[in-house]
Amino acid sequence: MGKTVLITGATSGLGRAVAIALAEADHCVIATGRSRSKLDQLKRDCSKIAVVRDLNVAIPDQFKTLVTEISAVGVEIIDTLFVNAAIHLEHDHDHEGKPYAEWPHAKIRCKTYETNLFGAMRTVDAFLPWVLYSKDGRILFSNGTLGSFGWHHHENQSYRNMLGIKHPAYAASKAALNMEMVHLARQQPSLFVASLSPGWIETAIGGSGTGNMKPRKVETALPHITKYLVGDIDRSRSGSFIGVRDETIAW
């Protein structure tokens, strides 16, 4: 039987691709996003998506409206909450060798945390009761190696160089999100809670790479991500940070 899956940030990149893939596989997808025009386009592109609704995760009041709206259309449980919405505002900033005074302005940090961290936790606060109604409740967070201290300290210099000193606010927001995830997993042992990395994929956040360093196409991440959202999983791995080859990523 199809699952009911609520996705944040379903208007582009990974969230959009996952929303379409799950709807095509007859799951009941509640796709949310901050752009009304992109949500309308999503519904036009995939009529099998059950519900599309506005949700800017940086605006607390929008959660109340959404909870009321999805109750009104008869949604009673959410099997999987895919906490995916995020921003990355530091693409053009390489901080290697630059004085600290030239690092991202406090505004960039606040905006980044507001969406990537506080927005994610607001999503959990709003929908946790619905996920607890499911017999197979799951909460999955989009994360990646930029949020891993282990990768930033990797013994292989080329990995460290690849991450560089480029994304402090984004990376910090994702590292903090991992700690929230671990606590949530411990507090809710009946649920499967994990951080999932899609790998480096070509999206607005992932960019398109340079030279021969190119991200993978978003579609290549789908089998891995959709397995954790709706497929067979090892529930004993709740509380983990899971990479594209099912490996555990170092914190």
Ligand X SMILES: NC(=O)c1ccc[n+]([C@@H]2O[C@H](COP(=O)([O-])OP(=O)(O)OC[C@H]3O[C@@H](n4cnc5c(N)ncnc54)[C@H](OP(=O)(O)O)[C@@H]3O)[C@@H](O)[C@H]2O)c1
Contact residues for ligand X, defined by CB under 6 A: 8-9, 11-15, 33-35, 38, 55-58, 84-87, 115, 119, 142-144, 197-198, 200-201, 203-206, 215
β-partners of residue 6 are 30, 81
Spatial contact of 131 and 78, defined as CB atoms under 8 Å apart: yes
Least Å from the CB of residue 184 to ligand X: 16
Least Å from the CB of residue 99 to ligand X: 28
Pairing mode, strands 51-54 and 80-83: unpaired
Least Å from the CB of residue 101 to ligand X: 27
Least Å from the CB of residue 166 to ligand X: 13
What is the maximal distance between C-alpha atoms in the chain?
Answer: 56
Least Å from the CB of residue 244 to ligand X: 10
Least Å from the CB of residue 137 to ligand X: 21
For residue 237, give the H/E element and its range.
none
CA distance 82 to 128: 12
CB of 75 or CB of 175, closer to ligand X: 175
CB of 3 or CB of 174, closer to ligand X: 174
Residues in the chain: 251
CB of 28 or CB of 86, closer to ligand X: 86
Task: Phi first, then psi: give them for residue 211, nearest 5 degrees.
Answer: 55, -130
The interaxial angle of helices 13-24 and 222-230, nearest 10 deg, is: 60
Terminal Cα distance for the chain, rounded? 35
Minimal CB distance residue for ligand X: 13
Least Å from the CB of residue 68 to ligand X: 18
Task: Phi first, then psi: give them for residue 5, nearest 5 degrees.
Answer: -125, 125
CA distance 65 to 124: 15
Q: What are the tokens at 95?
A: 């901080």
CB of 132 or CB of 204, closer to ligand X: 204
Task: Phi first, then psi: give them for residue 120, nearest 5 degrees.
Answer: -65, -40
CB of 45 or CB of 76, closer to ligand X: 45
CA distance 145 to 164: 12
CB of 20 or CB of 87, closer to ligand X: 87
CB of 192 or CB of 200, closer to ligand X: 200
